[in-house]
Structure 1
Amino acid sequence: MNLILWRHAEAEDQASSDLVRQLTPRGRKQAQGIAKWLKSRIDDDAAFLASPATRTIQTAEAFGDRYRVVDALAPGNDAQAVLDAAGWPDGVAETVVVIGHQPTLGRVASLLMTGHETEWSIKKAGVWWFQGRTRGGDGHVVLRAVINPDLL
């Protein structure tokens, strides 16, 4: 399984509630850049799971309309909720792209890399791509890529 953690792009600082904050013009450009990078690297049958927050939905829409909103990815949920929503390590699809929030995505990355949940930072619109595989009966996690929008 491939698990791609995609933090939402830059959003406005204030709105009537946290869930309705929208992407800024810079955020829309970031999302489009990352979407272009992903499109050339993932299969057409990848599953996209987005938090119910407007900024994550707008980030997902940069890739197209193939996303599904999942309440378990809302701000404030824990790392295990993200892994459960994605079906890790077997996956709800061969490739699952999770569009979510900090600090949760950073905690997922640390859990996958070290086995412990700690505070790791993922930049806005950043992507961390993990691959789970089995060798000799043991499960392994491979970090395939880390990309930030300012590197594109």
Structure 2
Amino acid sequence: MNLILWRHAEAEDQAASDLVRQLTPRGRKQAQAMAKWLRSRIDEDAVFLASPATRTIQTAEAFGDRYRAVESLAPGGSAQAVLEAAGWPDGIAQTVIVVGHQPTLGRVAALLFTGSEAEWSIKKAGVWWFQQRPRAGDGQLVLRAVTSPDLL
């Protein structure tokens, strides 16, 4: 299984509520750049899961309308909720892209790497790509890529 953690792109600082904050013009460009990078690297049947927050939905929409909003991915959600939504490590699909928030996505990355949650930071619009693959009868975690729009 491939698990891709994609943090939402840059969003406005103020709005009527946290859930309705929208992407800035710069954020839209970041999301488009990352979507272009992902498009050339993932399969057509990849599943996109997004937080119900406007900024994550707008980030996912840079890839198209293939996303599904999942309440458990809302701001303040747990790392375990992200892994459960994606079906990690077996997966609800071969490739699952989770479009979410800090600090949750950083905690997921730390949990996968170290076995415990920590306050790791994922840059806005950044992607961390993990792969779980069988190796000698056990599962092996591989970090396939870490990138952000300013590196593309």
With normalisation by structure 1, the TM-score equals 0.99
Q: SS of 2:116's equivalent?
A: coil
Q: 1:135 Cα shift? A: 1.1
Q: 1:146 Cα shift? A: 0.2
Partner of 1:3: 3
Counterparts of 2:136 and 2:144, CA distance in 1: 20
C-alpha distance after superposition, 1:97-143 (max 9, x if no partner): 00000000000000111111100000000000000012122111100
Q: Structure 1 residues 130-139 or 44-53, which shifts more?
A: 130-139
Q: Does 1:116 align with 2:116?
A: yes
Displaced runs of 4+ in structure 1, greater than 4 A? none
Counterparts of 2:37 and 2:78, CA distance in 1: 28
Q: Does 1:87 align with 2:87?
A: yes
C-alpha distance after superposition, 1:23-48 (max 9, x if no partner): 00000000000000000000000000
Q: 1:18 Cα shift? A: 0.2
Give the partner amino acid of 1:48: F
Partner of 1:12: 12
Q: SS of 1:145's equivalent?
A: strand
Partner of 2:131: 131
Q: SS of 1:77's equivalent?
A: coil
Give the partner amino acid of 2:121: S
Partner of 1:68: 68
Q: 1:67 Cα shift? A: 0.3
With normalisation by structure 2, the TM-score equals 0.99
Report sequence identity in percent: 82
Q: SS of 1:143's equivalent?
A: strand
Counterparts of 1:11 and 1:65, CA distance in 2: 20
Counterparts of 2:80 and 2:11, CA distance in 1: 25
Q: How many residues align?
A: 152
Counterparts of 1:140 and 1:72, CA distance in 2: 26
Q: SS of 1:124's equivalent?
A: coil
**Which ranges of structure 1 fall in alignment gaps of 5 or more residues?**
none
Q: SS of 2:55's equivalent?
A: helix
Q: CA RMSD in A?
A: 0.4
Q: Does 1:26 align with 2:44?
A: no
